[in-house]
Structure 1
Amino acid sequence: MKKTIKILLIILIVLALIVGGLILVRNKYLPLEYQSEIEVCSKEFNLDPYYVTAVIRTESRFRPAVVSSAGAVGLMQIQPETGEWIAGKLDMDFSADKLTDPAVNIRLGCWYLRFLLDRFDDPIAALAAYNSGQGRVDDWLASDEHSKDGITLDEIPFEETRNYVKKVERFEKLYKWLYPGLEKTDGIVLK
């Protein structure tokens, strides 16, 4: 009897350590910040919040004031010119300093993701365009080497963009597993 209790205690301690370790890893490496902004904007633009969260994690690691070497700003790494263009489409007041505001950045980024998804009709092509630009993706889709049907991107020639798409897909799956409570929509879900 005492041996059974000791074994059960050891099992409980091991399970507690595993759960504690998962929580620590989740909070440190896969945080979920700005959840309400993500859910509101995801719903507004009919996107899956896990997809948006994965893009934010990949782009900025949830750092709202980060600026890339190319000049992209904020959580979803919006170029100031692109932000101004999107804000015009949304009839919003815009100045480049607003890109560090999480609510503004997420709303602009979600609008742009929806725009790209509607434009390309392929989630992989949309993510590739988010990372490397619409013109490049247009060229890839027009090439028999990268697209058999001109709609679906079969091969991404840029390693950086190929890795970017894989990261977003991987983070989306991890966020779904680690944070099962996000409000879901009928939006885009990468498989």
Structure 2
Amino acid sequence: MEKAFYPCKYSALVEQYAAEYDLDPLLVYSFIRTESGFDPAATSSVNARGLMQMTEETFLWMRSKLAAGEKVTFDDLYDPAVSLRYGCYYLHLCLQRYNGDVATAAAAYHSGWGTVDTLLQMEEHSADGVTLQGFPYNQMHHYVEKITACYAVYTRLYGTNQD
């Protein structure tokens, strides 16, 4: 019954891009569930789009790194394959930048690298300058809690590895 609230929709695409970008598929499901509730037509109050809820600024940056020669537009994020490709790549970069720490990477996915990098320089938020121990902004704190709690449930329900 609980699995109905924690689905594994778009599994072929999730598995494909999780493998391509060295991500745990269960973490990807956690982001999709938190970001869009698995609604490919989701649009946020800041105009983030698709399953993985990417803003236009982030999309344009990701496109320059991932698909500079392709004719992919911001509107294409409503296509699950495009949203997952770009969102998984961005999540991969966040995890890579923040040494695989899910909470810090989630904060960066939500609030941007600049915000997280600034917080990492403050002793009250990071003892080591690499991972955040606290999330001082309410939205960021709530988001990180949702991602980590969701990931814990997905891991409990579906196992630690779906490779």
Do the structures match in fold with TM over 0.5? yes
Q: Which amino acid aligns with 1:57?
A: R
Q: Which runs of 4+ in 1 moved over 2 A?
A: 176-184
* 1:181, distance to aligned residue in structure 2 (A): 9.4
Output one character per residue of 1:27-77: Cα deviation in whole Å (capped at 9) or x when no partner. Answer: 2x2222101100000000000000011011000100001100011001000
* 1:165, distance to aligned residue in structure 2 (A): 1.2
Q: Tell me the secondary structure at the aligned position of residue 120 of structure 2.
A: helix
Whether the 8 Å contact between 1:80 and 1:99 is mirrored in structure 2 is no
Q: Give the whole-Å Cα distance in 1 for the aligned partners of 2:13 and 2:34.
A: 17
- Alignment CA distance shift 1:61-1:81 (3 Å): same
Q: Could you say which residue in structure 2 is the equivalent of 1:102?
A: 80
Question: Between Structure 1 and Structure 2, whose CA radius of gyration is higher?
Answer: 1
Output one character per residue of 1:138-158: Cα deviation in whole Å (capped at 9) or x when no partner. Answer: 111001111111111111101
Q: What is the aligned-residue identity percentage?
A: 41
* Worse-superposed segment, 121-130 or 62-71: 121-130
Q: Which amino acid aligns with 1:26?
A: K
* 1:93, distance to aligned residue in structure 2 (A): 2.7
Q: Give the whole-Å Cα distance in 1 for the aligned partners of 2:153 and 2:130.
A: 28
Q: Could you say which residue in structure 1 is the equivalent of 2:130?
A: 151
Matched, 1:176 2:155: yes
Q: Cα RMSD (Å) of the superposition?
A: 1.6
TM-score, structure 2 normalization: 0.91
Q: Which ranges in structure 2 are unaligned for 5 or more consecutive residues?
A: none
Matched, 1:41 2:24: no
Whether the 8 Å contact between 2:24 and 2:161 is mirrored in structure 1 is no
Query: In structure 2, which of residues 108, 111, 114 is the aligned counterpart of residue 132 of structure 1?
Result: 111
Matched, 1:62 2:35: no
Q: Give the whole-Å Cα distance in 2 for the aligned partners of 1:141 and 1:181.
A: 29
